[in-house]
Structure 1
C-alpha cells in the first residue's frame, strides 16, 4: 500500500498539485480528503488529500519518485507499531519545520504520543494548535491503521495536557449527564474535537441510565447524550 499526501488551499488545488506531480489526469486519481484542515500559526490553512498510488490505472514511476510529507513507505520496515507511529509523526512535524520532542506512553489500549514544542513554536492554548493536533491524530491513525480519529489507536497530546483535559472532560460529562437525568431530554453537542468526544464517551460509559452516541462525519460529528431507553422523538434538534 502506498499513500501520498498533498496539500493545497482547497481540495481542487491539492488534487491539481497531485495530478501534476504524478503526471496523471485528476479524474484518474483515487483519493481521500483529510477531514481536518491544517492550520499553522502565521502560515495560513491548508487542505490535505491522501492519494492511493496502488489504484492508479497503471504503474507510475513518478509515484515512487514523489516525496510527499507522509512518505508512508519509509516506515514499512519497522515492526514495532509504537516506533512506527512515533517515527511517522516525527517525520511530519520535522517537515513542517518545527522543533519538538516526542514522549511515548500507554494509556489503556491506546498509545499516547506527547509532543513538547520548542520556545515560540506553537501556542498550545490557541484554537489553531487544537486543530493541528486533531489533524495529526487523524493522519497518523488513517495512514498507519486505516482508521478514523473516532477509532484512534494513537492519541496525540500537545504539551502534556492530556491528563488535565481528561479531567476537564470528566467534569463536563458529569454536568451534562445530570442535566439529561433531570430534564429527561437529550443533549446534542456540535463541532467538538474528536478527542474530547472520545473522553466524554469514556467518562459516561459506565452510567447505566445514560447512553451516548455519535452521528455525522468527522469534524461535523454530533455527540448525543440521552437517557437510556429514551425514544428518538425526545431528542433535541
Structure 2
C-alpha cells in the first residue's frame, strides 16, 4: 500500500497537498491525522503545521486490468448511496489503523449521525479532545457529498463522545461564567473547533450577566466570556 505524509497550515490544506502529490481523489485514500496544527509561543514562535498520513486504498485498484470497470462519469456518481460511501470510507480508514469497524446511522437535528462501533481502541479515532474525530468527520462529509445532489450534513461519533464532550463543555461554561462574575475579568478560552465553540455560545446565550463572542482565525479561533455592560 502506497502512503505518504503531508503537511499544511490546516488539516484541509495537508489533505489537499497529499492528494496532489499522489495525483488522486478523496474517495481513493484513507487519511490518518498525525498532528493537528498548533500555535507556538505567543502564537509567533514554533508554529506547528498539520500533518496527515494518506494511504491509497488497494481495494479500489482492479486486480485484473482487462476486467477493470469503466471509469465512472459524473452522472454515475449520483446513483451511489452517499451514506453507504461514507460508511465504507470509515471502515477502510479503520482497517488501515488495525480496527474492525461498523457504523450505525441515526437522524438528528444536525443531520445524519454515523456512530462508529467496533473492536479495538476507538480512542485512536477520537484523539485528544476529539481532534482526530473532527478531522475524520470533515473528510467523511467530503466523501458523502461527492455522491449527493444536495448538501448532506454528517456528524461522526464514537463511544458517545459527542454527548460526553458537550456535557463537559457546558459544565466548563458555567464554571467560567461564575469566575467572570466574581473577578469581573473576561476569560479567553483555548482555541476550539467550531463545534465546541457552538456549545459554549449556546450554553451562555441566555445568561443574565455574561455574554460570549469568538475572536481569532482558524485554527486558533477561541471563545471569550465577558460581563454584559449592564451586569
Shift of 1:85: 4.8
For 1:125 and 1:21, how far apart are their aligned partners in 2?
A: 26
Match of 1:39 in 2: 34
Shift in alpha-carbon separation, 1:19–1:213, aligned structure 2, 3 A: same
For 1:182 and 1:228, how far apart are their aligned partners in 2?
A: 13
Q: In the alignment, is the contact (CA less than 8 A) between 1:8 and 1:14 conserved in 2?
A: no
Counterparts of 1:104-183 in structure 2, within 5 Å, are 104-120=105-121, 122-123=123-124, 127=128, 130-141=130-141, 153-183=153-183
Match of 2:191 in 1: 191
Shift of 1:208: 4.6
For 1:132 and 1:19, how far apart are their aligned partners in 2?
A: 22
Contiguous gaps of at least 5 residues in structure 2: 25-31, 36-49, 55-69, 147-151
Shift of 1:219: 2.9
Q: In the alignment, is the contact (CA less than 8 A) between 2:110 and 2:155 conserved in 1?
A: no
For 1:74 and 1:207, how far apart are their aligned partners in 2?
A: 51
Shift in alpha-carbon separation, 1:221–1:17, aligned structure 2, 3 A: closer
Shift of 1:107: 3.5
What is the Cα-based RMSD across aligned positions, in Å? Answer: 4.3
For 2:23 and 2:77, how far apart are their aligned partners in 1?
A: 21
Contiguous gaps of at least 5 residues in structure 1: 1-5, 24-36, 50-64, 67-71, 147-151, 231-237
Q: In the alignment, is the contact (CA less than 8 A) between 2:126 and 2:158 conserved in 1?
A: no
Shift in alpha-carbon separation, 1:214–1:83, aligned structure 2, 3 A: farther
Shift of 1:201: 2.0
Match among 10, 13, 23 for residue 7 of structure 2: 10
Shift in alpha-carbon separation, 1:179–1:74, aligned structure 2, 3 A: farther
TM-score, normalization by structure 1: 0.56
Segments of 4+ in structure 1 off by > 6 A?
12-16
Q: In the alignment, is the contact (CA less than 8 A) between 2:86 and 2:143 conserved in 1?
A: no
Shift of 1:46: 3.4
Shift of 1:214: 1.7
For 1:86 and 1:187, how far apart are their aligned partners in 2?
A: 40
State the Cα deviation string for residues 147-205 of structure 1 (Å, max 9, x = none).
Answer: xxxxx943222212322222222111111112223333321112334433222222222
State the Cα deviation string for residues 19-41 of structure 1 (Å, max 9, x = none).
Answer: 55449xxxxxxxxxxxxx8129x
Equivalent residue pairs, number? 182
State the Cα deviation string for residues 73-103 of structure 1 (Å, max 9, x = none).
Answer: 9864346x65565455445445555311222
